[in-house]
Structure 1
């Protein structure tokens, strides 16, 4: 078991805690051997801690190497732990559904290879070779650890590049941690039974950071640099045949000040000509003109609204919305109610309400008003005028944007639906336009065509 403590001042910068496990026992399925890992993010840097138990016995060096390789390549992190309480987990938290964190960008590459810092700890089971039990006990009693390290299997395998590649270990200055008789304190507690297992440094802590060489300094090019403050064994523990090993790290983490980064990005956006050109293109909205800004119509009237794209090289995408509406008696000032996303009122029809206008061309929109209601009574359709005798007003908003722009520009057209008695004589729609008299007469002729069209449609 291992404990990770995070300084209180850093807890707000820690997140994305995940766990993973790999079995290395019989058939790579039994969990008596294997590894469990924890991954966390600090200042956007990824740190992984793996506790493992490798194959036992003096002669099983190759099996231990294979166990490490299997754990390193196959451990994956995907089960999320409560981010709010770093270093505190419960059984309930560990049993939460898996929530993968997408940190590994290169699929097929081990998760541990993507980490900025990796720490392996646990019972690695590497022994001392080429030495007898009595010789080892003598060297331990004399604290001749330098000579004993020459007989360490793990040190020899790492030097040959066969295991824990790229990782390092602090200098061992404590006695071998295996094997002890339970309940016996001090160095006299080494195994003295029939097997007399040779003392060995089975329990180890190894690590890797971002450094490619010991002289590398912490910076954005080498964001995580670790150094060991303490590496020793807890020789007073007598409840196990192993002595626990502990290690304290000082870890330097380089990170970007996001506020300063935003300021620098702002300077780049303001000074870079290419970016400025793109921003101008995104803000560009084609110029358009409307044939009328006000319309006065009576029931069943239809008027055209022409939208002209003045741009020579940019499509104009339009959408017509009802911005507000009002119903008042003659002589009163209209008070408009915002329509929001409710669309057009029932008495007004706009066709088409959306479209694209090619450069230098125009689109003609049909504005039709109708205040009658329809119902069915015994199969016969009946029409009648609404009892409401008030005039109706609507504000149509013509929203324009370019084919590449994110900005929009709105133009308004006011529609006045004038109430008239049932038998009143129909008048030509009244239009106040931006164009000349010639253009207005053209609009009247277009309106007559729309009236004929709707009249023939009703008669049919």
Structure 2
């Protein structure tokens, strides 16, 4: 369900609401057209503009930050993107039911104030309807083309003095505006000149069970109008449709062969299933599309990660879930399309951490104490065709062997004093933990 506000002309506007009921589109448009007795042409133009430019399926851009009203911004967006739907027809023309309601401002012609009041008091609405501008314009085909209105059997709804009850409340000021049916409800359903019963060809048929004015409302110079619709909607049972469609497809051998070909996953070959990286190493992984006519789509995910034990065996792998690749591993590209018979090269790279390293009992640690031991991940290469969601998976073990771990501690002791200052032993930490003046001991810890 979407709501769109649209500025029509200087003094008129419209707000539209579109909804789906059993798959049928229903649009409700509230309007306010140009005022004054002689402005019939402007009112007709207002309707035409609203009908042609009302848009529901366009993005709404807020203009509050720019200090521009949302209605003006929507009008500009509509003008920029085109006022018609993709097929070149107004969007309202494609709905199964359209209801227009609001203050249309159509008046009564060729009648005086006193004459109108006299006919109203006698409830001679048939004679007044002959003077109604809207009915005359609809009969001439100038406005609300193809739309209907229930028979009006209530008094004119304009203009009343506020907080005045009954028919005595019509305008008694110096202007003495002639009463009129300004507030109306019109509709158009799926019926045509040749089809009037509800069916799949005529999916929405509406009947009016009540059309009346709320004469007891006195807070406005207009009387609200309400209408009750009774609708028949032709509904398609989607489960039956899918079943019948499946039976039709299943009975056609040619279509089944085409679908089987489309659903096949292209044969792909991955160059290796084991990769070992040291610091900042890069390894190239190649994926070959062996299929000669279909494209292969691939993506690479990190399934799990584990720490390598001292004996070289990986511990239990922990699922990565939505965390993606670990920070030390870079895979590029991680997804793509392989043309028939082509090869794609994937860079598997160890990413160096720009951190201050310290050594505790010969085990390298960074300053936030992240585990820097050898690690292993399981990468999953998923390959699928362009017309199917089924895929084939290839698993690859990628192990990072921390190169500094294998360096003898004797070699480290010959390095500069700046490196030595970062080499701590657990005995040093134990002494620091029981010190009363930790700052002084840190200063003198490795002094010559």
**TM-score (normalised: structure 1):** 0.55
Query: Pick from 43, 46, 62: which aligns with 1:67?
Result: 46
- Structure 2 matches for 1:306-345, cutoff 5 A? 337=317, 342=325
Shift of residue 267, structure 1, vs aligned partner = 4.7
Instruction: Indicate the residue corresponding to 2:17 in structure 1.
Output: 39
Q: 1:128 aligns with which of 97, 109, 119?
A: 109
The 5 A counterparts of 1:10-21 are 15-21=1-7
Taking a change above 3 Å as real, the CA distance of residues 219 and 97 of structure 1, as seen in their structure-2 partners, is farther
For 1:234 and 1:19, the matched residues in 2 are separated by 27
Secondary structure of 2:263's match?
A: helix
1:48–1:333 CA distance, 2 compared to 1 (3 A): same
1:218 Cα shift?
3.5
Aligned to 2:186: 206
1:183–1:239 Cα contact (<8 Å) kept: yes
Flag the 1:328–1:267 CA change in 2: closer, same or farther, 3 A. farther
Is residue 2:100 matched to residue 1:119?
yes
Q: Deviations over 1:322-347 (max 9, x none)?
A: 988885788x987664796659x99x
After superposition, the Cα gap between the structure-2 partners of 1:189 and 1:271, relative to the gap in structure 1 and judged at 3 Å, is same
In terms of Rg, which structure is larger? Answer: 1
Check the 8 A contact 1:286/1:400 in 2, yes or no. no
Give the corresponding residue for 2:436.
none
2:158 pairs, out of 146, 166, 178, with 178
Cα distance in 2, alignment partners of residues 127 and 172 from structure 1: 14
Matching residue within 200, 205, 210 for 1:225: 205
Q: Which runs of 5+ in 2 are unaligned?
A: 61-68, 276-284, 345-361, 364-373, 408-448
Instruction: Provide the residue aligned with 2:359 in structure 1.
Output: none
- Give the distance between the partners of 2:164 and 2:179, measured in 1 at CA: 15
- CA–CA distance in 2 between the matches of 1:403 and 1:157? 60
Q: Partners of 2:205 and 2:339 in 1: how far apart?
A: 60
Task: Indicate if the aligned counterparts of 2:101 and 2:183 stay in contact, CA closer than 8 A.
Answer: no
CA deviation after TM superposition for structure 1 residue 162, in Å: 0.8
SS in 2 for 1:200: coil
Kindly tell me: are residues 172 and 79 of structure 1, through their superposed partners in 2, closer, same or farther at Cα, counting changes over 3 Å?
Answer: farther
| More moved, 101-110 vs 159-168 | 101-110
TM-score for both structures, normalised by structure 2: 0.56
RMSD value, Cα:
6.0
Contact 1:128 / 1:198 at 8 angstroms: preserved in 2?
no
Describe the superposition over 1:340-376 as per-residue Cα deviations: whole angstroms up to 9, x where unpaired.
6659x99xxxxxx99999999999xxxxxxxxxxxxx
| Structure 1 residues 271 and 132: CA distance shift in structure 2, 3 A | same
Kindly tell me the number of residue pairs found equivalent between the two proteins: 365
Counterparts of 1:106 and 1:174, CA distance in 2: 42
Superposition map of 1:10-409 within 5 A: 15-23=1-9, 29=10, 31=11, 34-43=12-21, 44=23, 45-57=25-37, 59-76=38-55, 105-106=85-86, 109-115=89-95, 116-129=97-110, 131-182=111-162, 184-191=164-171, 196-213=176-193, 216-257=196-237, 263=243, 266-267=246-247, 270-272=250-252, 273-286=254-267, 337=317, 342=325, 401=383, 407-409=390-392
* 3-state SS, counterpart of residue 142 of structure 2: coil
**Cα contact 1:178–1:243 (8 A) shared by 2:** yes
Identify unmatched segments of 5+ residues in structure 1: 1-14, 24-28, 81-93, 296-304, 347-352, 364-385, 423-460
- Maintained 8 Å contact 1:318/1:355: yes
CA offsets per residue over residues 130-182 of structure 1, 9 Å max, x none? x4445444433333322332222211111000111121110011223334455
Could you say if the C-alpha distance between residues 203 and 413 of structure 1 is closer, same or farther in structure 2, counting changes exceeding 3 Å? closer
Q: Is the 8 A contact 1:316 1:358 kept in 2?
A: yes
